[in-house]
Amino acid sequence: MVAVAGRVVVVTGGRRGLGAALVDEVLARGARKVYSTARSAYADDRPGVVGAELEVRSAASVTALAEIATDAEIVFNNAGVLLPAPLLTGDFEDVTVTFDVNVFGPLRMARAFAPILAANGGGALVDMHSVLSWLAGSGAYGASKAAAWSLTNSLRIELARQNTQVVGVHAGFIDTDMVSDLELPKADPADVAARIVDGLESGVAEVLADDVTVAAKAALSGPVENLTFSTAR
């Protein structure tokens, strides 16, 4: 388990939505410094917050962030993208971007920051997944989140040797700009952020942030035909 108080934290996609809620939450719990990233440079005037530019699709951009954040102890891989990309009929470029951001982006971050976390005592890596990691029917987004779930589970094994805690986070729909057009029940980002940090500090390997996600995880032992997007409604 890794306590946030006194730690240096990186939050990708920290400018808005769940990322902004995570920045607020770790600050409230006493984080010493927070690197909060966005795709374009921005300033956050709060003491201890460092606004940083990051494009997770770019290895050079990830490396540049790692060269700045050499004191990082906890990394939240929150940056993600949701594009309307059915697997068979969607624009293939949208499918490619979805996987590049949601799967290879966190992997780039893990590869860049693993040595930093090791040098700073192990720390933690927290990856944002989705209830749709387990439910079919949401095209490239769901497929990318399923891949990200598998990625995190393998990274947990590889990073155990350096004493890095790896946490996978699954949540249903959160009230952010990403899903503002969907007429579905949505969780408060602040509530989800609090549950994520609670899980991190209690040492769990996986955070199930809401009842919808708990039900979907339980359904994994049943027929695969039942694991559809409609289950989340």
170: CATH: 3.40.50.720
- Residue 74 CA to residue 124 CA, distance in Å, equals 5
Domain hosting 223: range is 8-232
The pLDDT score that the predictor gives to residue 107 is 98
Mean pLDDT of the chain: 92
Element of type H or E holding 114: helix 105-119
Cβ-proximal residues to 66 (8 Å cutoff; 6+ apart), any chain: 112, 113, 116
Confidence of residue 199 (pLDDT cuts 50, 70, 90): very high
pLDDT at 231 over 50: no
Q: How many domains does the chain have?
A: 1
Q: Give the SS3 label for residue 2.
A: coil
Element of type H or E holding 116: helix 105-119
Within-domain flag for 125: yes
Lowest mean pLDDT of 15-19, 94-98, 107-111, name the range. Answer: 15-19
Confidence of residue 71 (pLDDT cuts 50, 70, 90): very high
| pTM of the predicted protein model | 0.91
Within-domain flag for 58: yes
How many beta carbons lie within 10 A of that of residue 43, not counting itself? 8
Q: Tokens for 217, please give them.
A: 């995880």
The pLDDT score that the predictor gives to residue 177 is 59
Instruction: Give the position of tokens 């947990």.
Output: 156
- Residue 139 CA to residue 1 CA, distance in Å, equals 35
pLDDT at 120 over 90: yes
Confidence of residue 228 (pLDDT cuts 50, 70, 90): confident
- Residue 59 CA to residue 195 CA, distance in Å, equals 31
Within-domain flag for 2: no
Within-domain flag for 194: yes
Q: If we measure between CA atoms, which residue out of 191, 200, 142 comes closest to residue 18?
A: 191
Within-domain flag for 116: yes
Q: Give the SS3 label for residue 207.
A: strand
Within-domain flag for 36: yes
Confidence of residue 184 (pLDDT cuts 50, 70, 90): low
Within-domain flag for 3: no
pLDDT at 219 over 80: yes
Q: Is 92 exposed, middle or buried (0-12, 13-18, 19+ CB in 10 A)?
A: exposed
- Percent of the chain residues past pLDDT 90, beyond the cut: 77
pLDDT at 226 over 50: yes
Within-domain flag for 1: no
